Every structure is written in structure tokens, then in C-alpha cells.
Structure 1
């Protein structure tokens, strides 16, 4: 095993799904992975050769500080930080309580900034890299994705700023934009959307109820036809290990297609494409307006 492959990598949100698959894939390639989990049961499930679970809620300063101390005490260089932790909360802008808006940004943006700040000294010493797991929602905001996409758009902007700040210092910053992936996060996201929809007022349900159901159906369809977590993890590992990584990687055919569409279509045309796509998943007999 080379000295390169003995380096450390931190992966947050590694309890299940893409994070767990990424931790295992990087360990298989010879790295020592500090896998952030929130529960003891998750730690027991992921612990294996090359994968060391660490308790990490990225919104808890004590956890972030302990992680930074663990990395600082290790003689091995920190090769990469993979900011993967996240939650999916979908609801119309009007109906999502402000406390939930703030929590989505706390987990999907501010927590990543906190971990990045804490580990940047080690990354600078090792000339490592930051890999931020964004989403195709960081490029295109579908209806009901206001909070989730808003945080991902912001993560993309922070990534651009950070890349331009630390590139002269030898640290690379990469954004990964997955589309549909067959993970528990998508299933939980649909359940959360249904719970939030149940709390809408009758007037709000009349305005948005069918839209929420259509978006959920589209999400379920995209997830079932998406990449497996293991296949997506291999692409994340490429962003982590390739010598000259691109600034952005789209994962999945849907992500690649939407990325291309955003480059060539006007906002109004993209609105019509979005409405037409949702119409195929809408309750029978109900139409969505194009607002064109």
C-alpha cells in the first residue's frame, strides 16, 4: 500500500446511502476513512477494515471540534473532506414553517461550512481537497424544493468562493451533483413531504395538494430508475482521487440532462418543460399551468 493510500479521508453523513457507500469505496481503495455517524447502531453497521466511525452531528460544535482534534492527532495527512450529510425537506414556499427553513439551511449548508472551517488547517497542510455533495437541485429548483434547493444553490456558491480562495494554497474544491439515487434519503424525503402536506390548511391544500403529490410521484420515479448508491459512490471516489479533478461532476443521466438544459433553455422555456414533466405525474384529470 502506497503512502498516498494511507491518508485520511473524512466523510460526513455516512450512516446510510451515498455516504456509507462512499466510505466503503474509499476504504476499499486503501484510505483510512473517518465516517461520520450519529448513532451507535450506525457505527456498528459501518465499522470495517479502513472505516472508522466517528460520532458526528455537523450541527453540533462539540462534535465538529472533536473531529478536528481526532484529525490533528493523527500522523497521517488528511487527503479529503467529503461533505455529504444532508436532509431532504420538500414543501411549497408558502407552507413550510420558518423553523424548518432554518433547519434545512443549518444541516445542508452551515454544518458543512463549520466542518470545512475546522478541517481546513489539516487540508492545507496536506494539500488535500474538499468535495461538497450538492445536488442537481443546486442547479434547478423544482416546485416544493425551495428550501432544499436554496441550501444547495448556496452550497454551490460557497464552493465557488472557497475554490478561488484556496486553489493558490494547493487545496482543490470539487462539487458533486447527484440526480436520482436509490437511497433511503429519497424515501424519507417523500415521507417528510407527505407529513408536511398533512399540516397544510384546507386553502393551502387546494392550492398545492395536487402539486405535492405530483412532485412526490416524480421523485419516486426518478429514484427507482436512478443509480445505486454503490455506483454513485464510485463516481464520488473519482472526484476524491483523480489527480486533476473537474470543478463539478453530475451523477446520473437525469442530472447530466438537466445540467445541459439549464445551459441552453431560457427560464420560461425551462418552466414549461418542468410543468410538462410534472403533468405526467399529476393526479388524473388535473392540469398544471405552464405560466408561460
Structure 2
């Protein structure tokens, strides 16, 4: 016996590519009407499909959020929002010393404050439906590797907000779930690698001397990490599970790497994790930097 979801809406942000796109398709295949957040007409045209309706949403734009609220409130078929999946995100990697402050602010605006703004706006609908919020965090929300200070900082904060929100909403029947992907084959990671290369080019000679080898090692490691990661479709299955199972866990990991590292972060001392991180980076260091 299958359950009909004809009267239910799901909203997923960041569906232009990768996990967001795959998640929208997976939930549409399960019978939900998916409102898919995109940022361009080309992305909207690519996202549109059976039970997938693209909506323009930059999570940092209050007017876009207001329009999303109006779309849900005035649904032509009277469908109810049952799930919000906060997936939009950007990846910026550079050492703390070298990353411009505006890039720090941009990272937090998209990966944290934007999700809070969307959540605040849509919570009245979820109270009504006793629905669910799924926040897409990261392995970086548990372990902060070198050059991931801004990205991990926003994800650590999202984890904390999710914990607070889960405890606040439990008595009202609204569930809050966190998904922590590790390596996933997505375009966002590729864009992050390209940004990292640009940051190296923009460093001062002194900064490049200090951090150039580290940045190259991080780029090499991230490239390999992504290539060995799970597909966006496999990640979408975990996200869909978190969004639909009757009694979800508080957290789900995606991929063996995320499962392993989140366990190690609980078990090992900080100094041991430091040594493990350094050992994992060493094979990716340029020869000159590794022998220095």
C-alpha cells in the first residue's frame, strides 16, 4: 500500500545542480510536489519536470523569500508544505589569515543566515502541517580541516542552530534533522576548487610562501576526495530518507568518509586529530613544500 502525497508540498533550496537537483527528482518520483529553489532562468528550465516546479530563490534576498511564502500560501490546489530542505550553499577555502572578510561574511550569509531566514519564513506552514526541516550540513560541520575555516565555521554554526531548533520544536510536533555529507561528486566542490586556485593567485608573495604548498595540497586532496565520493543520486537517497521516514534520527551521514570521521571526532583528542589531518595531507603536498 502506497501513501498519496498529492496534497503535500516540499521545498528544496539550491536545486540547480548536485545533491539539491537529485533530491528534488527523488522526492518528485515519490509523489511529492517539489518547489525547487533556483537562481537563474536556465536553471529553472533544467529543473522543471513532472511534479517539480522551479521557484526563484536567492536565500539572501528577502524579496525572494517573501515571494516563496506567497506561493506556498496561495497554492492553487490547497496543498500543505510538509518539508523544508535547506540545501543551498557555497564553498570557499583559504587560510584564515588570507581570506578577505567580505568572503567570510558571504559564506555565513549563504550557508547560515540564509537558511535561518528561510526557516523563519516557512515555519508557520510547518507548524500547521506538523512537518519537518532537513538542514544539509557537512562533514565540515564536525571536523574543521586547514583552509576550511569559513566553510566549517558556518556549518558548525548550522549544526548548533539545528540542535537548538530541534529542541525548541519537538513539543510542537515539528522535527528537525541534519544530514552530513562527506565526499559527493557535485559541481559545488569543483567551483570551490576553482575559487581556491584564484585565492592562491591573489595572495601576496609572503602569504604564498606561507600557504601556497598547503593550498595546493588541499586542492589535490579535495579533487581526489570528490572523485572518490558518492554520487549526488546516492546522497539524495539519504536526504529523502531523512525527509520522509516516520521517526527520523537527529543526524544522518552520507558516505563512509563522513561516517568514519564523525566517529573519530568524538573519540580522538584534538592533538590526535591534528596529526591525522597532517598525515592525510602529506601525500598531496608539492614536493618542495613537503621536503621543506
Same fold (TM over 0.5): yes
> 2:64 is matched with which residue?
63
C-alpha distance in 2, partners of 1:72/1:93? 43
C-alpha distance in 2, partners of 1:197/1:169? 48
- Report 1:96-135 matches (<5 A): 96-135=99-138
RMSD: 1.2
> 1:182 is matched with which residue?
185
> 1:193 is matched with which residue?
196
> 1:272 is matched with which residue?
275
Shift in Å, 1:72 = 1.2
> 1:72 is matched with which residue?
73
C-alpha distance in 1, partners of 2:182/2:67? 32
- Report 1:9-158 matches (<5 A): 9-74=10-75, 75-158=78-161
C-alpha distance in 2, partners of 1:192/1:225? 21
For structure 2, the residue ranges without an aligned partner over 5 or more in a row are none
C-alpha distance in 1, partners of 2:39/2:125? 23
C-alpha distance in 1, partners of 2:123/2:169? 9
C-alpha distance in 1, partners of 2:108/2:224? 26
- Report 1:198-213 matches (<5 A): 198-213=201-216
C-alpha distance in 1, partners of 2:5/2:38? 25
Shift in Å, 1:27 = 0.1
Q: What is the TM-score when the length of structure 1 is the normalising length?
A: 0.97
Is the CA contact (8 Å cut-off) linking 1:33 and 1:50 kept in structure 2? Answer: yes
C-alpha distance in 1, partners of 2:252/2:158? 14
> 1:248 is matched with which residue?
251
Shift in Å, 1:6 = 3.7
Shift in Å, 1:57 = 0.4
C-alpha distance in 2, partners of 1:145/1:14? 23
SS in 2 for 1:152: helix
What is the count of residue pairs matched by the alignment?
A: 289
Q: What is the TM-score when the length of structure 2 is the normalising length?
A: 0.97
Is the CA contact (8 Å cut-off) linking 1:90 and 1:148 kept in structure 2? Answer: yes
Is the CA contact (8 Å cut-off) linking 1:275 and 1:288 kept in structure 2? Answer: no
Shift in Å, 1:38 = 0.3
1:42-101 deviation line (CA, Å, top 9, x unaligned): 000110001000000000000001101111112112110000000000000000000110
Shift in Å, 1:253 = 0.8
C-alpha distance in 2, partners of 1:21/1:162? 26
Is the CA contact (8 Å cut-off) linking 2:4 and 2:31 kept in structure 1? Answer: no
SS in 1 for 2:59: coil
